[in-house]
Amino acid sequence: MKQYDVVIVGGGINGCGLIRDLALNGVSTLLIDKGDFSSQTSQSSSKMLHGGIRYLENFDFGLISEALEEKNLWLKLTPHLCFERDFYLPLYNYSKYSPWMLGVGLFIYDFLSHFQNKPFAVLNAEETLKKVPSLDPQGLKGAGKYFDGVVDDAKLTLECLYDALLEPNSEALSYHEVTACHKTEEGYEVTYKSVFNQTSVTVKAKYVVFTTGPFTDQLLPKLNIPWSPQLVTSKGIHLWLKKDSIDAKGSVVLTTKDNRVVFVIPQRDSVLVGTTETPVDQEMFNIKATEKEINYLLNVLKQYFPNAPLSKDSIISTFAGVRPLVKEEGHTEALGKVSRFHKIFRPDDRTYVLLGGKYTTFRRMTQEIAQELVPRLGLTYRPNLTLNHLRQKSIMPTFGVKPKLTIEMVKEIIRTEKVTTFEDLVSRRLSIVEELSQLKDVMGIPVEEVKALFRA
C-alpha cells in the first residue's frame, strides 16, 4: 500500500495552493479531486484579484489589507495570468454615499494596500461618461475610480498545481472520488475510486487535509470524520456577454437596489457580469444558473445601461458557483454581510479542514496549514518558497496575443496540463467562454477533430 505524508481532498485553489507549498517544502503529497482541478468554485469567481471594495462597509480592514497585499504579489508573480485595471463606481442622486464619502472610502482602500495600488480618483459626471459611455446619464453625479486585478482564476489554480508536480514528491488525481477514510495509529487509510471505471485504490497518509469548500458539510459525515455543519452556502452566477453589449473603457461596479454589488468587467474579447448571492437549494456539484438569476442580472444592467443593446441574445454563456461561507454565531444578516474570513478546523489530531476565505488570499490561508504540518513531519518549513514565480506556464495564454492553435499544440496541452476531458481542455486550458454545445470549432480547429483525441 503506497504511503504519503499528506493526502489533500479537493483540487480547487486551496488544494492546489497547499500541495504547492507542501511539495516545495519536501512533503510527499497526493491531491485528489472528484472532477477536474479548479472545475467548481475556483473557476466560478468574478475573475478578480482584489481586496474587496464592498467589505469596507463591514470594517473588515485586516482581510482587505491582506487581500490587497496578495493581489499585488500575484500581479508581479504571474503577469501572464492577471493584470491591473481601472474600476469605476458610479454615483447617482439616489446613491447612499456622497462623492466625498466615496473619496474617503477609496483613500482607505489605497491606504490598506500600503499605497501599492495605483492612486484613486473621484470623477465628475462628464469625466465618468467619457470612460463609461453606456451609463445612464440621468441623475449621474460622477464616479470613484480605483484599481484592482483581473485574473484567469482557473489557470492560476492549475499553474499552482503544475508547479507542485515539478517536485518528485507530489502527485495529483482528477476524476477520483474519496469513498473512505479509516483512522489508524499512524494516520489514515484513504480509499478513492475512479468516476469512470469505479476502480478503487487505498493509500496510507499520515495526515489528511480537506479543501472541499462548499461540499465539506456533505462529505465529512459520509467519511465518518467527526463533524458538525459549519457552512452557509451562497450561490453566485455570472454572464459572459458579447463585447459590444456595453460600451465601457474600464470596469464598472454597480450597487443594486437590494444592496448587492455587481461587477461589469470587459475581458477576453467579452464582458463578464456578476455576481448574485442567493441561498443554495439545488445540487451543488456542477451547479448551473437559473432563468430567474439570469434575468436578475440583466435587469440590473438595464437599470444602469438603459440604452445599451442588451437582451438574452447578448449572452454568450453563463456559469455558477457556490461560496463556502463559514457560519458565525447568531448571524442573521444577508449573505453579502457574512464574513469572508477563513477558519481551520481540526476534527482530530491527523485531520485539517480549511473553510471560507477569499480566492485572493489562498496562499496565506494554506500557509497556515503548511507551517504547522511541515514541522510535524520532521522538516523545516521555509515560508518564502511560495513567493517564487510559478515555473510551468499554460501553453495557451488567456490574455494578450494568442498563438494559432494546432492539433500538435492540443496534444501537448493534453500531455502536460492534466487534461482528461474535452471540457477540461476548452473551458480551463484554452479559457474559451462559449458554451460547449455552441462551439463549431476550437480556436480554428473543427470540434470533432479535437474531440477525436479524447476518443483515441
Each residue of 99-120: pLDDT tens digit?
888 899 999 989 988 888 899 9
pLDDT tens-digit series, residues 186-222? 999 999 999 999 999 999 999 999 999 999 999 999 9
In this prediction, residue 270 carries a pLDDT of 95
pLDDT band at 332 (very low <50, low <70, confident <90, very high): very low
Average pLDDT over residues 76-95: 93
Query: Where in the chain do CATH 3.50.50.60 domains reside?
Result: 3-42+154-230+336-387
* Lowest mean pLDDT, pick from 79-93, 191-205, 318-332: 318-332
**Which helix (H) or strand (E) is 362 found in, with range?**
helix 362-376
Asked if 331 and 338 touch (Cβ cutoff 8 Å), the reply is yes
Average pLDDT over residues 52-72: 87
Q: Which CATH number fits domain 83-145+232-326: 3.40.50.1950, 3.30.1130.10, 1.10.10.10, 3.30.9.10?
A: 3.30.9.10
Residue 257's Cβ-count burial label (10 Å; 0-12, 13-18, 19+) is exposed
CA–CA separation, 171 vs 30, rounded Å?
Answer: 5
pTM: 0.94
* Lowest mean pLDDT, pick from 5-14, 49-58, 77-86, 351-360: 49-58
* Angle between helices 362-376 and 13-24 in degrees, nearest 10: 40
CA–CA separation, 39 vs 167, rounded Å?
Answer: 23
3-state secondary structure at position 190: strand
Average pLDDT over residues 410-434: 96
Q: Where are the alpha helices (DSSP H) in 138-243?
A: 153-165, 216-222
3-state secondary structure at position 302: helix
CA–CA separation, 88 vs 157, rounded Å?
Answer: 28
pLDDT tens-digit series, residues 333-348? 555 555 568 899 999 9
C-alpha 413 chain-centroid distance: 22
Q: What cell numbers appear for 247 in the block?
A: 460600451
Beta strands at 200-210 and 351-356: parallel, antiparallel or unpaired: parallel
CATH number of 3-42+154-230+336-387: 3.50.50.60
CA–CA separation, 162 vs 16, rounded Å?
Answer: 9
Cis upstream peptide for 275 (omega within 30°):
yes
CA–CA separation, 194 vs 174, rounded Å?
Answer: 9
Task: Give yes or no for residue 331 having a pLDDT over 60.
Answer: no
In this prediction, residue 194 carries a pLDDT of 96
Strand partners, 318: 239
Strand partners, 3: 204
Q: What cell numbers appear for 142 in the block?
A: 460622477
Q: What cell numbers appear for 259 in the block?
A: 444592496
* Lowest mean pLDDT, pick from 108-112, 229-233, 264-268, 282-286: 282-286
What percent of the chain lies above the pLDDT cut of 90? 78
Asked if 74 and 358 touch (Cβ cutoff 8 Å), the reply is no
pLDDT band at 455 (very low <50, low <70, confident <90, very high): confident
* Lowest mean pLDDT, pick from 6-20, 65-79, 93-107: 93-107
Residue 150's Cβ-count burial label (10 Å; 0-12, 13-18, 19+) is buried
Q: What cell numbers appear for 122 in the block?
A: 473621484
Strand partners, 189: 182, 204
Query: Where in the chain do CATH 3.30.9.10 domains reside?
Result: 83-145+232-326
CA–CA separation, 9 vs 220, rounded Å?
Answer: 11
C-alpha 240 chain-centroid distance: 16
Average pLDDT over residues 285-295: 92
pLDDT band at 18 (very low <50, low <70, confident <90, very high): very high
| Phi then psi dihedrals of residue 121, to 5 deg | -155, 155
Higher pLDDT, 24 or 401: 24
- How far lies 383's CA from each of 68, 74, 161, 336, in Å? 19, 16, 18, 33
Q: What is the amino acid identity at position 240?
A: W
- How far lies 132's CA from each of 123, 170, 251, 353, 410, in Å? 12, 47, 8, 43, 38
Residue 14's Cβ-count burial label (10 Å; 0-12, 13-18, 19+) is buried
